[in-house]
Structure 1
Amino acid sequence: MVSAVCVYDAHGRLLTVRKRGTDKFMHPGGKPEAGESAAQAAARELAEEVGIVLPPEALQPLGRWLADAANEAATRIDATVFTAPGIWTAAPSAEIAEIRWLDLAGELPGDLAPLLTDHVLPLLAAARDAGA
C-alpha cells in the first residue's frame, strides 16, 4: 500500500520527484506507517519529501489503482492518489535527488513511474479534454 499526491504549481504543472538511488520520477508519497490512514501517510510524506504541509483532511481523493512499482522489478503496488488543493512550490528533502515540474500539455518524458503513465496521467488528460 502506498499513498501519493498530485501537486500543481502556478503554471498548472504537476510535481514529480526522483528519490535517491532510483531512476524514475513519481508523485511525492510513500508507504503508511503503522496506524496511518492513506491520507495521513500522503500528508506526512508530502511534508517530509518536499516541505508542503497540509492536514490530511485537505487532500482530495483522486483514485486508487494497482500499478507496477517504479523501482522494484516484478512488484505491484496498491496506490491511493490524492490531489493537494491550491498552488505550490516545493523544495526537495535529503531523500529526494531531484524534483521536476511536468507540463501536462507537453511531451512526456520516458522516465515516469507506471502509476503516473498508466493511471493518473490518462485520468487527468480525460478530465482536461472533458472540460475543454
Structure 2
Amino acid sequence: MNVITVAAAVILNTQNQLLLVRKKNTQFFMQVGGKLELNEAPEQTMIREISEEISVKAEIQQFIGRFETLAANEANHQLVSYVYQVSLDQPPEIDAEIAEMKWIDLDDDQTLLAPLTKEIVIPWCKENIV
C-alpha cells in the first residue's frame, strides 16, 4: 500500500467548532494541511499549507501526535499524519486548491469527513477541548 505523509491542522474557534476544508474535485472535508515536501519538517509544512490554503499566518500550539489512517481521496493509500493544534491570526479565507471551507460542530453527522478527521481529530477534540 502506498503511503502519503502529511501535516494536518486542528483549528478550533471560540465556539469549539472545527475548521475543515474540501479540496477541488473531492468530496471529503478534512483538516487544513498537506503533503510534506522533500527535506521539509512537518511543522514547516503545517505553516506553509495554512498560508497556501486559507491565506493566514498560524501559530502551532501543540503537537497532538502521529497517526495512521486510510487516505480520504486516494484509493489504496495509507495516510501518515503529523497533527498539530494551531491558532490563526485572522479569519481564514479560501485559497489555492480549496473548493469549500466550513466550521463544523464536533457532533456534526451531516458532513462527509475524511478518515483522519472522523477517527482521530474529532475524538481528540471531544476529549481535550470541551
Fold in common (TM above 0.5): yes
Matched, 1:48 2:52: yes
Using the TM superposition, give the Cα deviation of residue 32 of structure 1 relative to its aligned residue in structure 2, in angstroms.
1.1
Aligned residues between the structures: 126
**Which of 17-26 and 110-119 deviates more?**
110-119
1:50-97 CA-partner distances (Å, limit 9, x unpaired): 012135xx3421111001000011211110110113675210003100
With structure 1 as the length reference, what TM-score do the two structures score?
A: 0.86
What residue in structure 2 maps to residue 27 of structure 1? 31
What residue in structure 2 maps to residue 117 of structure 1? 118
1:2-57 CA-partner distances (Å, limit 9, x unpaired): 001011223221100000011000000001112210010011000000012135xx
Can you give the 5+ residue segments of structure 1 that lack an aligned partner in the other structure?
none
With structure 2 as the length reference, what TM-score do the two structures score?
A: 0.87
RMSD of aligned alpha carbons: 1.8
Query: Using a 3 Å threshold, how does the CA distance of structure 1 residues 59 and 96 change in structure 2: closer, same or farther?
Result: same
- C-alpha distance in structure 1 between counterparts of 2:90 and 2:110, whole Å: 22
What residue in structure 2 maps to residue 64 of structure 1? 66
Match of 2:22 among 18, 23, 31: 18
Q: Percent sequence identity over matched residues?
A: 34
What residue in structure 1 maps to residue 103 of structure 2? 101
- C-alpha distance in structure 2 between counterparts of 1:41 and 1:128, whole Å: 24
Tell me if structure 2 keeps the 8 A contact 1:3–1:39: yes
What residue in structure 1 maps to residue 128 of structure 2? 127
Structure with the higher strand share, 1 or 2: 2
Structure with the higher helix share, 1 or 2: 1
